[in-house]
Structure 1
């Protein structure tokens, strides 16, 4: 079933698609999402479609719209056997069981990748945003970084004792606590958006300290904290 034009535009809006993006449409059908992303938003777009007749139709429509293959490409492919890990935006209109099968592949993509689905959700992976276009229900997720585990604080500018953060993660939802000596304090307003991790906690001296950084492997980069300069936080 083709995606209505209004839903196509709304999906591209929710995915924040722009000229710097590489969009992949899974099950691209007649090609309208790929063509709209390339023609209207300047993105480089790829459609993966199992049906060779729809691939041929999509290529014909792209040529008629004046698009080159550099801007809008279509491949006859099995989405579960194709590498699209370089995409910055993934769109789909697939059945629920296919969405669930795709979850591990999506979680292996770069943190910050935007995923937009027409009609069907991702089960326990709750969406970051929902919308409607006519009768179409739309969902958007941002692929999260892996922030779970024990993080040791290295921030001499804060004058704090040795502190370890124990973070627990369920998809993009995080919680945990800061451990200092024999005490602990729960994290407040912990949020993970792609690779950006933010939270607050109350130090032993009563100060409320806010951290804001980007997860990069075993470190937070460009970490800042309220009221004082801070060094990085490293996973140990």
Structure 2
């Protein structure tokens, strides 16, 4: 009987020790969650997260809604993608660091927007983001310039927002500073991809339109009835075109190789249209 009691005690102790050993082994086997450090090296830039107030300002400038598909180039911990999803948008983050991709996915789950977000491990310079209606980024000037040709090929009207860094001669359509506690990297910049209108156009009522385009700014002459009418001002906002010529104000939309709209001069109003010349 004495042996039986001792045996039971030894058996119980052995089971406790076995459970503790298995628990320790399981704890050791659990991978440690990735925790980035601000300023750590990345493929193209060091990682510095966009401040939440700046992220909100960027999305405000882009007027992000539930109708948008937002792509963040270099999405880091996912905060811009998550912020866009909270506004109802579908959002994709492209990030080269796999640890940050995992962290962003965890953050999206924690914020309850995993169904509207996706994060992929990829190189932004080898990625297709042509389906985006809004592009967000926090990259250096030289990287923005490298991306600029691809960004200009996006559908006219696509909004691009950047934290602080511009795109050279392509000046921002709008810029806003974030005050308060923010003291570094606090500027939200917005560009609207312009339609491509450079070249010769034939006016429906007769006459020729010669457009010279520099990003969203346009300079051109109108030749009608053998007379050259100088353009006083001209600008593109996505697929919308506006200019003043001969005292009349013109506005319209560009649709590929055609554009049409309205004009007003004093109390007179009318319509105008043009098609790209065949020699183009």
TM beyond 0.5: yes
Distance change in 2, residues 1:232/1:183 (3 Å):
closer
User: Which residue of the other structure, out of 7, 11, 14, is the alignment partner of 2:61?
Assistant: 14
Cα distance, 1:172 vs structure 2? 0.6
Gapped runs of 5+ residues in structure 1? Answer: 156-161, 203-207
Q: 1 or 2 for the larger relative contact order (CA 8 Å, sep ≥6)?
A: 1
Structure 1 residues 73-107: Cα deviation after superposition (integer angstroms, max 9, x where no partner)? 10101111111101010000011111000001100
User: Which residue of the other structure, out of 256, 259, 279, is the alignment partner of 1:220?
Assistant: 259
> What does residue 228 of structure 2 align with?
184
Q: TM-score, normalised by structure 2?
A: 0.76
> 1:94-173, aligned counterparts within 5 Å?
94-133=139-178, 134-135=182-183, 136-155=186-205, 162-173=206-217
> What does residue 210 of structure 1 align with?
249
Q: Which has the larger share of strand? A: 1
> What does residue 159 of structure 1 align with?
none
Determine which structure has more spread, i.e. the larger CA radius of gyration. 2
Q: Verify the 8 A CA contact 2:199 2:210 in the aligned structure 1.
A: yes
> What does residue 133 of structure 2 align with?
88
Gapped runs of 5+ residues in structure 2? Answer: 1-47
Q: Verify the 8 A CA contact 2:263 2:272 in the aligned structure 1.
A: no
Q: Verify the 8 A CA contact 2:202 2:276 in the aligned structure 1.
A: yes
Q: TM-score, normalised by structure 1?
A: 0.90
Cα distance, 1:231 vs structure 2? 4.7
CA distance, structure 2, for counterparts of residue 200 and residue 61 of structure 1: 50
CA distance, structure 1, for counterparts of residue 82 and residue 97 of structure 2: 18
Q: Which has the larger share of helix? A: 2
Cα distance, 1:181 vs structure 2? 4.5
CA distance, structure 2, for counterparts of residue 67 and residue 43 of structure 1: 10
Corresponding pairs, count = 222
* 1:49 and 2:95 correspond: yes
Structure 1 residues 93-151: Cα deviation after superposition (integer angstroms, max 9, x where no partner)? 01111100000110010000010111211011111111112231221111000111111
Structure 1 residues 200-221: Cα deviation after superposition (integer angstroms, max 9, x where no partner)? 212xxxxx33321111111014
